Each structure stands twice: as structure tokens, then as C-alpha cells.
Amino acid sequence: MKYKSQKVAYWFFALCMLLFALQIVYGFIMGFARIGMDGLHEFIPFNTARAVHTNLLVVWLLTGFMGAAYYIIPEEAQRELVSVKWAYIQLISLALVGVVAIVGYHFNHWEGRKFLEIPRELDYLVVANVLLFLGIILATLYKGKRRTTTALVLTMGLVFAALLYLPGMIWFDSQVTDSFFRWWVVHLWVEGVWELIMGGILAFLLIKITGIDREIIEKWLYVIVGLTFLSGILGTGHHYYYIGVNKIWLIVGGVFSALEPLAFLAMALFAVYMYRKGGRNHPNKLALFWTIGAAIVSFIGAGLLGFAHTLPQTNIYTHGTLVTAMHGHYAFWGAYAMIVLAIISYSLPNMTGRKRYDHVNGHMAFWFSNIGILGMVVAMGVAGVVQVYLERRLKMDFMVAQEEVKIHFVVMLLCAALFTLGIAMYIYEFIKHGKPTDEALEET
């Protein structure tokens, strides 16, 4: 049984596709600048391109999480959303705030705090928007027929994500303190509460796709999010090693962040095991690919590649180099981009009634994008290791080392082209599915 109000999710996902496409454009602007082709410097200097690239990433992922919640919560709570009208208003206002912020970045209007570039006055609008979103979700849950663990974990993730935005809005005179609390947002999001959101979506998808008993899936969901917080909260210390705070973080951050991969490992094992054990042969193979893929790639990108530079002894050399950029790409892709693409792949045929789930385009989208980004990550990783060696061991000048790694960015751009082809096919398939209909939702 499906609910008509789930249709709202479609429009959130459509906005995701648009913002994701734009994100990639700005990625190319930076990639080309790095190989000396910076013809756009006058209008879109590197710092503008970077702020737009990373902010669009965060915004399209959050839009995807919201869409996921609007799709999942009615089904879990077994009732329609309390207000569809307000959900659309929330979507439009979210898009407006996003557009204003992005346009502002082209006119030197921002706050140069990595990942939190949105100016303070717009922050208040973001807060209002998120409160509206949470209001709709919480009211629906409250009035719903059941309260499942999956819905609870997903909602808890969303509520905590909103609360954790606040420390990033406090004003500090000291760069050190500013940076300290900036990590309460950035780290505790991606290595904390967003994992709850990911876990909630993953559990929902596994229940639907594998047909395994909810009680079993949800028990392991608690174990996974338990591991996440147990390691991730104190793991924040891995950003405090070298920014001018007490040495105690070298030990605390080192030990606990080294445990963080366990949560991702648990997620990967859980997904693969449930899939193997599951009796149901769900026809939506693409959703399965993206779901299992997210669980595995997040373990590699966040777990393994994160571990590779998280010990203080290593991080002293890699801190703030292309090694970090390499990890950032694969972790964000595996954990959050792929889980959003998974819920879209699962829900789209249900909302539109077009069962294109085994179309060859969809499979090519999966493989091209995954092979493409793996190539990008390897290229960036090689560049990063070379940079660390030349600059930090041999003490070469920054730009001398950068000249040496230019060639790896040529390779990176070639792989990025393959990646982009994959994403273009994904978006093409999205469009081909057509619009959502009430009839389609009633049927399934």
C-alpha cells in the first residue's frame, strides 16, 4: 500500500538531479584550472568554483535525504503526510535559498569557512526551512499508525543534523576556536548523524528489496548506528591534531577515529549478508545495485581511505593535501551520493508506474559513474602521495610540487568525463520515467 503524498519526493529528487549536474560543471572548472586552463578566472575564480561545487554537493544530498524522508515516512508510519502543500512550499524555499547563496558566491558574498560558506543571514533562512521540514515529518510520525525503528533512526538523524548546524553559526574571534566548532558541523555530520540517515534509508531499502524480517534488519541497524556514535563522536579529534589545540586530541582522536571504519564495515557486511539471505527476488535490480554498492563503496571510501590518513603520525604529513581531497570524493560518493541514487532508483518506478528497472541505460549509468569516479580517486590519490613526498618530505616549494602532479589531473579529468557520462545516463533515465501519478502509487 502506497500513499499519494509520497509524490512530493519526486520533485525533491528532480531538484537533486539538477543540482548534481551543476556540481559537476563546477568540478570541471576547477579541474581545468589545475591543468592551466583558467580562462574563466575573471568571472569564476577557483574559490568561487570550489564553494559552489562543495555547497551544491551538500545541498543536493540534503535535498535527497528530505525527498527520501517524504517517501519513506508515510510508508513507515502508514498515513499520508500531514501537509503536501507545506512540503512543496518547503521545497521551493529551499531551492530559492540555495540559488541566492550560489549566485552570491559569484559576487564575493560569502563566509570563507570551508563547507559552511553560506553567509550568516541566509543561515537563518536555512534554519527556518529545516524546521518546516522537520515539523512535517515529526507531525506525520506522531499521527501515524506505527513508529518503526527505521523511521525513528532516519528522523533522529535529520533532527540531530539540524541541531548540529547551530554551532557553526556562533561567532568567534579566534580562528582556532572557529575551526574547532566548524568541525562540530562538518565532522559530526558526515561521520555521525548523516550515517544515521544513511542507515535508515539502507534499512528501508533492504527490507523492501530482500523481504527479510524487519525485526532482524532493525536490530542490526541499532548496532551499526551504535558503532557510528561510539567511534565518531570522539573521532572528531582527528581534526584537532594540528589546529592549535591540546595534545590530548592526538590520543583520543587517533584511537576513536581508527575505530570509525567498523561502522562502515558493519554496514557493508550487513547489506551483503541480508541480500544473500533474502528470499525475495525483487525485480528492481538497479535499486539493489545502488544499495549494495553504497554499503560497499562507503566502506572503501570512508572506512579504508579515511583510516589511511587518520592516525596522527600519518596525518601530520597528509593534513590539508590532495590526499584529503581524494578521500573526500570517494567517501561522499560511496556513502551519501550512492544512497540517494539508490532511493531514487527504488522509488521512481513506484511513483511513475514505468518499470524501467532493468533497462541497459540504467546499468551503464551505474558502471560508468562508478568506474569513472574510481579512476578519479586513484589519480587524485597518486597526486596526493607525490605532493606529500615532494612538499613535506623533500621540502620543495608548493608550486614546484604542483607542476609535478599536473599530469595526474589530466588523467583525473579523463576519468571525470566517463563519470559524467554515467551521471548523464542516470539523469536521462530519470527523465524517461516521466512524472509521478496517483494511479501508479495506488497500484503498487
Partner 1 sequence: MLSKSQARSFFLGGTVVTFMIFIGLTIYSMAPSNDQSNHENITEGVIRGKHLWETNNCMGCHTLLGEGGYYAPELTKVIDRKGEGMIRAILQSPVPWQPNGRKMVAYGMSDADADAMIEFFKWIGEIDLNGFDRVVSPLAKDRVPRQEED
Q: Is 45 in the site for ligand HEM (CB under 6 A)?
A: no
The three cell numbers locating residue 326: 581524494
Least CB distance to ligand HEM at residue 75 (A): 26
Residue choice 21, 22, 24, 212 for contact with ligand HEM (CB under 6 A): 24
346 binds, among ligand HEM, partner 1, Fe ion, none (CB under 5 to 8 A by kind): none
Q: Is 146 left (phi over 0), alpha (psi -120 to 50) or beta?
A: beta
Least CB distance to partner 1 at residue 97 (A): 19
Binding segment (CB under 5 A) for Fe ion, from list 69-77, 167-175, 189-197, 411-419? 189-197
Q: Is 309 in the site for Fe ion (CB under 5 A)?
A: no
CA atoms within 13 A on the CB side of 440: 18
317 binds, among partner 1, ligand HEM, Fe ion, none (CB under 5 to 8 A by kind): partner 1
Supply φ then ψ for residue 83, to 5 degrees: -150, 120
Q: How many CB atoms lie within 10 A of CB 39?
A: 10
Distances (CA, A) of 43 to 19, 40, 105: 20, 6, 11
- The Cα–Cα gap between 240 and 247 comes to 9
144 binds, among Fe ion, partner 1, ligand HEM, none (CB under 5 to 8 A by kind): none
Least CB distance to Fe ion at residue 238 (A): 6
**Closest to Fe ion by CB, 262 or 427:** 262
**Closest to partner 1 by CB, 95 or 196:** 196
Least CB distance to ligand HEM at residue 81 (A): 29
Least CB distance to partner 1 at residue 201 (A): 17
Distances (CA, A) of 342 to 13, 122, 204, 354: 11, 31, 11, 17
Least CB distance to ligand HEM at residue 296 (A): 13
Binding segment (CB under 6 A) for ligand HEM, from list 160-168, 186-194, 206-214, 432-440? 186-194
Binding segment (CB under 5 A) for Fe ion, from list 37-45, 72-80, 179-187, 269-277? 179-187
Residue choice 9, 158, 201, 302 for contact with ligand HEM (CB under 6 A): 302
- The Cα–Cα gap between 152 and 197 comes to 10
Q: Is 331 in the site for ligand HEM (CB under 6 A)?
A: yes
Binding segment (CB under 6 A) for ligand HEM, from list 140-148, 158-166, 213-221, 332-340? 332-340
252 binds, among ligand HEM, partner 1, Fe ion, none (CB under 5 to 8 A by kind): partner 1
| Neighbouring residues of 399: CB distance < 8 A, sequence distance ≥ 6 | none
The footprint of ligand HEM on residues 225-254 (CB under 6 A) is 238-239
Q: Is 319 in the site for Fe ion (CB under 5 A)?
A: no
**Closest to ligand HEM by CB, 279 or 320:** 320
39 binds, among partner 1, Fe ion, ligand HEM, none (CB under 5 to 8 A by kind): none
**Closest to ligand HEM by CB, 212 or 378:** 378
Least CB distance to Fe ion at residue 240 (A): 10
Q: Is 319 in the site for ligand HEM (CB under 6 A)?
A: yes
Least CB distance to partner 1 at residue 319 (A): 4
233 binds, among partner 1, Fe ion, ligand HEM, none (CB under 5 to 8 A by kind): partner 1
Place of cell 554496514: 267
The footprint of ligand HEM on residues 105-164 (CB under 6 A) is 114-115
The three cell numbers locating residue 402: 604542483
Binding site for ligand HEM (CB under 6 A): 24, 27-28, 30-31, 34, 50, 53-54, 57, 114-115, 186, 190-191, 238-239, 257, 260-261, 298, 302-303, 306-307, 309-310, 315, 319-320, 324-325, 327-329, 331-333, 335, 337, 416, 419-420
